[in-house]
Homo-oligomer: A and B are copies of this chain.
Amino acid sequence: MAERLRDDRYLGAGGAGDLALELYAGVAELPILSPHGHVDVELLSRPDARLPPPGQLFVTSDHYVTRLLYAHGVPLAELGVGQEEPDDRAVWDSFTGRLDLFAGTPVALWLRETLAAVFNLDPRVDASTYDALAGRLASPEFAPRALLDRFRIETIATTDPAGSTLAEHRSLHEQGLGGRVRPTFRPDAVVALDAPGWRGALAALEEVSGREIGDYDGFVEALAERRAAFKELGATATDHSTTAVWTERMSHAEASAAFATALAGDVGESAARRFEAHMLNELARMSVDDGLVMQLHLGSLRDHDRPLAARFGPDIGGDIPVAADWTRGLRPVLEAYGAEPAFGLIAYTLDETVYSRELAPLAGHYPALRLGSPWWFHDSPNGIVRFLDRVTETAGVAKLAGFVDDARNFTAIPVRHDLWRRRCCGWLARQVEAGIVEPGDAPRLAHDLAYGLAKRAYRL
């Protein structure tokens, strides 16, 4: 195992290897801040919860894995997707029998790292891996609550719909874990007036708010109340995702009319998109009021493959990035609130071309804006370096928001942070070697990238 997972792996630092290792040693053991991700809160709220078995944990519920297997013609059913009681070992074998397809992708890297670092197994999958994994996953040592400590997770945020009752978070609060596990307010489902699930999401919001939402004003009030409830249970951030990058405000009359039309059941797509843009602006205004940091995950075309999405539901139909105009798209919200000291805005993009063209220049001007770490497809060894190379010269390291792991698989969290830390340290060492970064600045920058920036950006 020692031979396979070298100490200097992922540093990719060429001649600057010693410095990279030194920088990495200074941050490797820092606590983890995980202010954005998709871990199921129930895993954390119930002390006796266990992670699912290997097939479900590493395959069925990880769309990094299912998408690429599907792309090679493997039927989703064979991967457990949409199955009531899949044969978990068969699901695992479907994946691990095709690891060749993942060579060079972060999926392969995360898997071997997780096996070795988290499960203390040989990183090379063989016939014994499944049983060993399954055994550990069922043991108390691998209960999520135990892992929370073992992983040194200082704080972790889940992502929760606006209409969530937050029952689990309330329970965590009562168990004294309120500051450690935090909810994140994500109102997308109630904001997208034309989405199939809109009415259901609105009903949940009404239910949890204990009020009927009969018009736009009531809607906005309900959102503000829910934000307060989230905040009370430890939330420091909200999260928002739209395909378009558009934040233009409607007049109050227009917004009210659009909402009324939706309630009446016949809102059109264009009104729905305008309302979505308007609500990003309105939700920013609320952030100025309550101090919740606003995360934007923009530019993903959800459910690209509509026939597949129709059969298997969201997150399976392929979310594919599109180009967008961040410069003009964020202008309304930045002109309005970009200099408000109480406002924090963190931008995540799937379009690497806007790193240097738009996002770094914008973050290099507006006080409220910080740049989120590489998202999704770009949260990879080479993607991380492209990000750092393209944004830091214009925006400086100090305008970044650190790292979020965005993980669904709880056991992947330490591995993702470790990869980020290693890549950052390798990159820093090369910048020092080239004379761009001062040697004396590097340890501080490494610490910031690993820990400090996220702490400040997310107000933890």
Contact = CB atoms under 8 A, between A and B. Distances in A.
- How many protomers of this protein does the assembly include? 3
Nearest to A11: B434
A176 interface: no
Identify which of A390, A397, A398 gathers the most chain B CB atoms within 10 Å of its CB. Answer: A398
Nearest to A309: B335
Contacts of A149: none
Interface string A350-367: 111100111011111111
A444 interface: yes
Contact of A396 (B102, B356, B361, B382): B102
Interface residues of A, number: 91
A338 B71 CA distance: 9
A51 to B, nearest CB: 26
A378 B304 CA distance: 28
Contact of A434 (B9, B338, B390, B436): B9
Contact of A103 (B321, B365, B394, B445): B445
Interface stretch (A167-175, A219-227, A324-332): A324-332
Interface stretch (A83-91, A105-113, A264-272, A281-289): A105-113
B322 A327 contact: yes
Interface in A240-263: none
A390 B105 CA distance: 11
A381 interface: yes
Interface in A351-410: 351-353, 356-358, 360-367, 369, 377-378, 380-383, 386, 389-390, 392-399
A435 B11 CA distance: 8
Contacts of A5: 435
B352 A377 contact: no
Contacts of A10: 434-436
A26 interface: no
A251 B8 CA distance: 59
Q: Do most interface residues of chain A lie in helix, strand or loop, or is the interface mixed?
A: helix
Nearest to A8: B435
A308 interface: yes
A331 B107 CA distance: 26
A196 B14 CA distance: 54
Contacts of A6: 435
Interface in A397-445: 397-399, 430-431, 433-438, 441, 444-445
A305 to B, nearest CB: 6
Given A339-B308, A353-B357, A364-B71, A104 B436 contact: yes
A161 interface: no
Interface of A: 4-6, 8-12, 14-15, 67-68, 70-73, 100-106, 108-109, 112, 301, 304-308, 318-323, 325, 327-328, 331, 334-335, 338-339, 341, 350-353, 356-358, 360-367, 369, 377-378, 380-383, 386, 389-390, 392-399, 430-431, 433-438, 441, 444-445
